[in-house]
Structure 1
């Protein structure tokens, strides 16, 4: 019977519905243990990890399952399952990330060449990306020299102008070129996509003759988003007379290729308003870091978004499990405390809408390979349904990462919880949990327990990458979402901050501002390009940055700090 107008919903609840609400109250009050969710009829995670077949220990469990699929199976179902676990399909091929044993990359490549249909898309000493026919993935388990086959590291925009006057660029723009033309000013931008850039050529962007493009994305979708176009607008606001190089990427391997290409084009500065939560936190262990190091050594300065993760990150210096039940106990500060803790701290909960796309990443500081074996579980806080599990074996040859991509898997609006289990190994290394930063709009905490410290994303955590945090342009206060440092190995990050929440043609104005550290980063890029164009065209980008950072305006606590870095970007008036 339909509810009559004005009839309170409360009187329509069945005893079963009332029971669910009581259960929700118990969860909120910490009255149900995480391990109870694994026992008996209430067990939402009933399926444990898939057994590892003999000889196949290096394969991600999804690839193991794929290798056992009979001919003629429904590929659409398999593709949907793969996306939820970090994999993308291209026709009947799946894109994988292959991690070679040190110094055995060439041996692995020779073996891959013998597997019919395998296409290597990029190859570096630390990682190889390849398209593999779905009926050939099992062969990867028997290739000598491979320690792990998993999903690629996917990059995303850092989104959640007035900034020129704030950083002091206007006076520099009014200068003539005082030293003449020595080297042309070339700016590289790597991003997920550049939708509509041609429509802005000759107005908000340089003419098409001065825009050079290269598409490194496997799906060839150069215009997947307008994000990169908005970034380019801010750079060009500083100095329109530049050669602009646009490179579209989506994975870590593609980013490495793009950085190498930009370096070869002779750019002085690279902008990356993109990033990934899946990073080591010490600037190691992936090809894009190697290419960024090489660019720096060539005089190219690379600015990358510090991240929007301050409200969507949790950290602890060790795996806290005072009740010794195998489940991590979350604390707001991330600092383990002695004695028993409320059972409710075994869950870190968040709100999500039905059908929402969402990613979560669990990392622990035991790079590049680990035998500490952790698992990440996501469940519905009311109905106790298991939504997703990432529990790959870590046996000494795998990265310390568990990753979940909830693509259309959220069944209804409501509260969901993350729980972390230690299967084996000591719990004496730092542990982190990330969730998509745009889940909470950059204003309120995304999790029940949030720790902003150490929330710098990759590759901004790199040694030779300048991490740019965001300050609101008209208040000079760090944006609440802007990621904090330091890095997990103790280096200062962000390096510098710059204005965000600014107007662009792409994102509009008057309430539709370009926000996030995505918008802050091109202010630093544009400043280096402007100084190079006006005064120091014979100097490298790295040299100009060294001059620029010495002039940053100290904000927040006196001296360098993990929120503002060295301070907010400021170009002292030229003399």
Structure 2
């Protein structure tokens, strides 16, 4: 049997009858789908790459370290290499040497070295608190014309008048001035006085004024005759301007006051922050006696706390705090608070307003240039205090430096203190005057001398970091992390939502803080229609509530007051206690029928403090037992969070491997997308070429091939009829007409043999 020779019409049929795959690929909807999928892949890869591989940070010129400048200024070499002296004083002397007195004075004003009386301020940290040693050192300094303004424990605050300082610089030389102080026996460090500040939020962030008495249930207690009578409440703050004008109206008829600020008057410190705090306490506990104490430095903080304790106060309300410190309950201020509580005094502290101004990451240096890979962009509302802490407080020998640049990449300020051992704080802080509100800066962090990788905590006290950099967890003020004090967060009065700025826990050693939250944005005379906002305003709500409890139950211990507050708080956020609201929002409940308030109340069991050498934390029992009849249901007992939020870490070697894997996947997807587009293009070219070839074949075989095609169709029809098929069916099979060109095709044809159109 021989094969028939290939006829032209057979060529046409082969061209017009592709495989099933080719047929699917040539369908218009298939081509469109391939095109869309390919484009989606390419766009997705582009977006992912843009998100993951951000542009390199803007260039800035790394400054010379102060120690490295010793060779250029041999007369300052000893002071520039002095590990005891804070770097801001080195900068002051360097500017005095190179740019003169006026430039040095301007630097000192901008960086907080000089007070309003044109005195350079210093704080000495001693290696002992032995009274005889402290008195001997004080006498020696005073003989040199240096004023000792405060002493407490191992701290000593100094003030050097410029009229004394400048002759010293001229006669003794820049290096001899601070070098002489640094060389005295028992001095470990010379630093700026503390950075404690009030926790009021600027007016630009405020909302409407409100009244909160009914919200916390205080009005019911007032109606039953419990108004804080017989209770003494101390208010610890930085400033109490205008308090005298409010006596007998917004404040009691008389208050007891004491100012521990060097040379200052309690009502002339430049602000009304403490006055507003006292107003809220008086609104909630109108018959409580108020004791107002003003301070500014760490040493004055201790002096003020000791004075309040000596006055017999039962509650201390402190709406100030610092972002500088270990935040694990081991700092100087935490020690002052715990010692006070151990005397039977309830200490209530603001949690802080730093949640929007906190950045927490692990130090990373992938390119090995000694700088943290990420720049920290932030915005300030004016004068600011910037703090950088890292978790090496137990050793003190890991050294990072902090540099602030403006968006023009000009260096604004730096802190390059030396961390050389046990007595060196693992922190840097900078005070500077921003020329305008809302100005943007960025922080760069350098590893000066480190042997490991540590977690960095960056804070701006009077501003916010960029949204994508914010770390709300671990944003507490140092004072809010004491073992025995009570710390308070802030909720908006209208809906009980946590204020975005309200600092969150846990402490750096994993304990629950804050323990309570309270209303903020309240109307007080001191702030007028602007209102009083921040955790500063929330804290005195709890202080006033504690006074009401003590007026009903004078014998309650500190722990019993806490237990009552915890057990009656309105649970917010996650069920049970959490690191945002604590046990919940302050609520006193209806006044108990047993007016002596003798109840056994225990809050849910919280995490215990286990730090060696620290006062033991009060550990409540696990099951509350509330006996008085009250109008508000006691929140369900639950334990404090069992897990702490993990710090956001930098990229380790494993992260680098993960990054390479992601790069490989994205590269593969990009290749697939490109391949899809190429396939679409190839198929389209094949279809176009096939149509052109079919047309050429039809033109070249117009006489034979075409008639053969028709003849074949007719023969097939007669053959079908001969085999018994109905004539109509045979005719239908032979007369499949192309809707595109009008030519007749055989019944089984799938493509027109003239134009290639699909039938």
TM range (shorter): 0.7 to 0.9
Question: Which of 513, 525, 528 is equivalent to 1:493?
Answer: 513
> Does residue 1:538 correspond to 2:579, yes or no?
no
SS of the residue aligned with 1:37? coil
Task: Label 1:65 to 1:108 Cα distance change in 2 as closer, same or farther (>3 A).
Answer: farther
Question: Which of 214, 226, 238 is equivalent to 2:258?
Answer: 214
Question: Which of 135, 138, 146 is equivalent to 2:179?
Answer: 138
Aligned to 2:15: none
Give deviations 1:228-266, integer Å, cap 9, x for gaps.
111111101112112110111122221111111000000
Aligned to 1:159: 200
- In 1, the alpha carbon distance for the partners of 2:334 and 2:427 equals 18
* 1:108–1:145 CA contact under 8 A, matched in 2: no
SS of the residue aligned with 2:377? strand
- Aligned residue-pair number: 507
Task: Label 1:159 to 1:177 Cα distance change in 2 as closer, same or farther (>3 A).
Answer: closer
Aligned to 1:62: 88
> Does residue 1:471 correspond to 2:499, yes or no?
no
Aligned to 2:606: none
Task: Label 1:366 to 1:563 Cα distance change in 2 as closer, same or farther (>3 A).
Answer: same
Task: Label 1:91 to 1:508 Cα distance change in 2 as closer, same or farther (>3 A).
Answer: closer
Question: Which of 440, 460, 464 is equivalent to 1:435?
Answer: 460
- Which aligned pairs between 1:106-255 and structure 2 lie closer than 5 A? 106-107=132-133, 109-115=135-141, 116-132=144-160, 134=165, 135=168, 136-160=177-201, 162-176=211-225, 184-208=230-254, 211-223=255-267, 224-255=270-301
Alpha-carbon shift at residue 313 of structure 1 (Å): 0.3
Task: Label 1:285 to 1:177 Cα distance change in 2 as closer, same or farther (>3 A).
Answer: closer
Task: Label 1:459 to 1:29 Cα distance change in 2 as closer, same or farther (>3 A).
Answer: same
SS of the residue aligned with 1:311? helix
TM-score (norm 1): 0.81
Give deviations 1:364-407, integer Å, cap 9, x for gaps.
122266111111111122x2211111122222242112111121
Aligned to 1:309: 354
SS of the residue aligned with 1:459? helix
Question: Which of 418, 423, 442 is equivalent to 1:393?
Answer: 418
* 2:516–2:585 CA contact under 8 A, matched in 1: yes
Aligned to 1:375: 401
- Structure 1 window deviating more from structure 2 (307-316 vs 156-165): it is 156-165
- In 2, the alpha carbon distance for the partners of 1:198 and 1:234 equals 16
Task: Label 1:48 to 1:243 Cα distance change in 2 as closer, same or farther (>3 A).
Answer: same
Q: Which has the higher strand share?
A: 1
Aligned to 1:405: 431
Aligned to 1:15: none
Task: Label 1:165 to 1:413 Cα distance change in 2 as closer, same or farther (>3 A).
Answer: closer
SS of the residue aligned with 2:278? helix
Task: Label 1:125 to 1:163 Cα distance change in 2 as closer, same or farther (>3 A).
Answer: same
Aligned to 2:641: none
Task: Label 1:349 to 1:92 Cα distance change in 2 as closer, same or farther (>3 A).
Answer: closer
- In 2, the alpha carbon distance for the partners of 1:418 and 1:235 equals 39
Task: Label 1:479 to 1:92 Cα distance change in 2 as closer, same or farther (>3 A).
Answer: closer
Alpha-carbon shift at residue 189 of structure 1 (Å): 0.5
Aligned to 2:728: none
Aligned to 1:293: 338
Task: Label 1:167 to 1:254 Cα distance change in 2 as closer, same or farther (>3 A).
Answer: same
Give deviations 1:494-536, integer Å, cap 9, x for gaps.
1111111122222234xx2211001100000000111212x11
Alpha-carbon shift at residue 127 of structure 1 (Å): 2.5
Task: Label 1:528 to 1:151 Cα distance change in 2 as closer, same or farther (>3 A).
Answer: same
* 2:489–2:518 CA contact under 8 A, matched in 1: yes
* 2:235–2:316 CA contact under 8 A, matched in 1: yes
- In 2, the alpha carbon distance for the partners of 1:132 and 1:113 equals 15
- In 2, the alpha carbon distance for the partners of 1:399 and 1:154 equals 14
* 1:305–1:469 CA contact under 8 A, matched in 2: yes
SS of the residue aligned with 1:262? helix
Q: Which has the higher helix share?
A: 2
* 1:194–1:222 CA contact under 8 A, matched in 2: yes
- In 2, the alpha carbon distance for the partners of 1:79 and 1:461 equals 37
- Which aligned pairs between 1:100-111 and structure 2 lie closer than 5 A? 100-101=126-127, 106-107=132-133, 109-111=135-137
* 1:373–1:395 CA contact under 8 A, matched in 2: yes
Q: CA RMSD in A?
A: 2.9
Task: Label 1:111 to 1:191 Cα distance change in 2 as closer, same or farther (>3 A).
Answer: closer
- In 1, the alpha carbon distance for the partners of 2:412 and 2:459 equals 17
Task: Label 1:553 to 1:231 Cα distance change in 2 as closer, same or farther (>3 A).
Answer: same
Give deviations 1:516-564, integer Å, cap 9, x for gaps.
001100000000111212x112334553233222222211011111101
- In 1, the alpha carbon distance for the partners of 2:224 and 2:386 equals 48
Give deviations 1:438-497, integer Å, cap 9, x for gaps.
x35xxxx55651101100002111112211000111101111110000011111111111
SS of the residue aligned with 2:478? coil
- Unaligned runs of at least 5 residues, structure 1: 1-25, 330-345
SS of the residue aligned with 2:550? helix
* 2:329–2:335 CA contact under 8 A, matched in 1: no
Alpha-carbon shift at residue 64 of structure 1 (Å): 4.0
RCO higher in structure (CA 8 A, sep ≥6): 1
Alpha-carbon shift at residue 310 of structure 1 (Å): 0.6
- In 2, the alpha carbon distance for the partners of 1:70 and 1:481 equals 40
* 2:92–2:108 CA contact under 8 A, matched in 1: no
SS of the residue aligned with 1:470? strand
- In 1, the alpha carbon distance for the partners of 2:409 and 2:54 equals 14
> Does residue 1:513 correspond to 2:513, yes or no?
no
- Unaligned runs of at least 5 residues, structure 2: 1-49, 71-76, 169-176, 202-209, 593-759
SS of the residue aligned with 1:361? strand
- In 2, the alpha carbon distance for the partners of 1:92 and 1:415 equals 30
